[in-house]
């Protein structure tokens, strides 16, 4: 039996996670600093779109990120009316009790925009629910959803017909409400209310610990033999990799806590010390564009410094700018990449 008991109404923002694991539930009342920053940047962009001022607590890089987002929304709207007030951006999606709130809606262009801070992640299922609700409200048969990743200055576009959005959202809700649903280990486990209690996670950690306790006292040759024996069982190998991933997630959490402890007291953990980190620096494409346009930097100099472009990015660029013509034969074979291991669909590990 799984210990999942929280059962909150399904939120729009939970849909991408539920698409991975139908048992996922967000941690109640836990808005970390990243979420609080995201909410503040959302508010700042809406304030600017409504003709107001940048909130005083949004400064520096955060203010530049919000300004980029606001300018992008205005460009996408192309002069059409932008709804950004909280009351105008509420979205009720068929089949969901929770009322979502989009960041900006441009009804005339059948367009919804959501600002995201942090890493570029998948939010397709969340915006599909916005699209479905907005198509109902505005009697439309298709809708465009734009995600603005303001830290990376990236834009991701998803387009849905009514049927596509309904099938995607309806499928996730059906699976999440199925009493026989089973937990599926996924990349969202660390954000889940059951991250430290879920049967699937516990089972994975216990089994990995068991293997570690068997292997730890062995000689190198004996360990090699264990590895070779494990590899003979292909299903066992796949299961071991999935379980070890969960174990790694727990180890990472312990490491994060230990870093905090060692920051307070450098001698707190025998045999371990903290190596100081640093902040990376970046120049955004927008600033490079501006410096080239003003003649301060040459286009050739910038391109030389930035270096090569991947074949995928070049194809995307070409199809965006040269819609009808064929991609020229400038894409060459690059360096050979070492193969990497990627988990496909993680199988459920225990009954709920
Ligand atoms: S911890 Fe992971 S596998 Fe377990 S219910 Fe949550 S998301 Fe699913």
97 alpha carbon – ligand 1 mean position (Å): 22
Tokens at residue 347, please?
A: 């199988």
pLDDT number for residue 146: 96
- CA-23 nearest atom, ligand 1: 5
pLDDT of 28-61, one tens digit each?
A: 765 677 888 999 999 999 999 999 999 999 999 8
Chain mean pLDDT for the chain: 88
pLDDT number for residue 349: 42
Residue 82: CB atoms within 10 Å = 22
Mean pLDDT, residues 323-336: 83
2 alpha carbon – ligand 1 mean position (Å): 10
Rounded Cα–Cα distance for residues 241 and 261 (Å): 30
Task: Give the N- to C-terminal CA distance of the chain in Å, as an integer.
Answer: 5
208 — alpha (psi -120 to 50), left (phi > 0) or beta?
alpha
- The per-type count for the chain, helices as H runs and strands as E runs, is 11, 6
pLDDT number for residue 209: 85
Contact (CB, 8 A) for 127 and 49: no
Alpha helices in the chain (DSSP H): 15-20, 33-49, 60-77, 124-138, 162-177, 199-215, 220-232, 234-264, 285-293, 299-306, 311-321
- CA-22 nearest atom, ligand 1: 8
Q: What is the pTM of this model?
A: 0.70
pLDDT number for residue 3: 43
């Amino acid at each position: 039996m799984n210990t999942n008991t929280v059962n909150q109404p399904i939120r729009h923002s939970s849909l991408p996670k539920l698409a991975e694991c139908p048992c996922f539930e967000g941690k109640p009342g836990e808005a970390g600093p990243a979420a609080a920053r995201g909410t503040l940047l959302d508010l700042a962009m809406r304030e600017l779109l409504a003709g107001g001022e940048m909130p005083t607590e949004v400064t520096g890089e955060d203010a530049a990120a919000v300004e980029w987002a606001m300018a992008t929304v205005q460009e996408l709207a192309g002069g059409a009316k932008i709804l950004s007030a909280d009351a105008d951006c509420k979205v009720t999606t068929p089949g969901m009790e929770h009322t979502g709130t989009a960041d900006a809606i441009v009804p005339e262009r059948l367009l919804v925009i959501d600002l995201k801070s942090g890493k570029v992640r998948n939010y397709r299922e969340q915006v599909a629910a916005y699209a479905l609700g907005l198509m109902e409200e505005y009697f439309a048969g298709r809708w465009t959803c734009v995600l603005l990743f303001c830290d990376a200055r990236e834009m991701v576009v998803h387009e849905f017909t009514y049927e596509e959005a309904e099938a995607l959202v309806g499928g996730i809700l059906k699976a999440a409400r199925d009493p026989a649903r089973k937990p599926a280990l996924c990349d969202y486990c660390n954000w889940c209310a059951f991250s430290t209690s879920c049967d699937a996670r516990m089972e994975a950690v216990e089994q990995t610990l068991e293997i570690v306790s068997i292997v730890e006292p062995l000689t190198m040759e004996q360990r090699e033999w264990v590895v070779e024996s494990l590899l003979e069982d292909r299903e066992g190998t796949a299961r071991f990799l999935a379980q070890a991933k969960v174990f790694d997630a727990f180890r990472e959490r312990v490491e994060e806590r230990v870093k905090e402890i060692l920051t307070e007291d450098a001698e707190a953990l025998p045999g371990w010390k903290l190596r100081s980190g640093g902040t990376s620096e970046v120049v955004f494409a927008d600033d490079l564009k501006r410096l080239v346009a003003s003649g301060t930097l040459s286009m050739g100099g910038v391109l030389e410094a930035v270096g090569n472009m991947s074949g995928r990015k070049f194809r995307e660029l070409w199809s965006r700018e040269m819609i009808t013509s064929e991609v020229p034969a400038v894409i060459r074979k690059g360096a050979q990449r070492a193969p990497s291991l990627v988990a496909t669909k993680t199988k459920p590990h225990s009954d709920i």
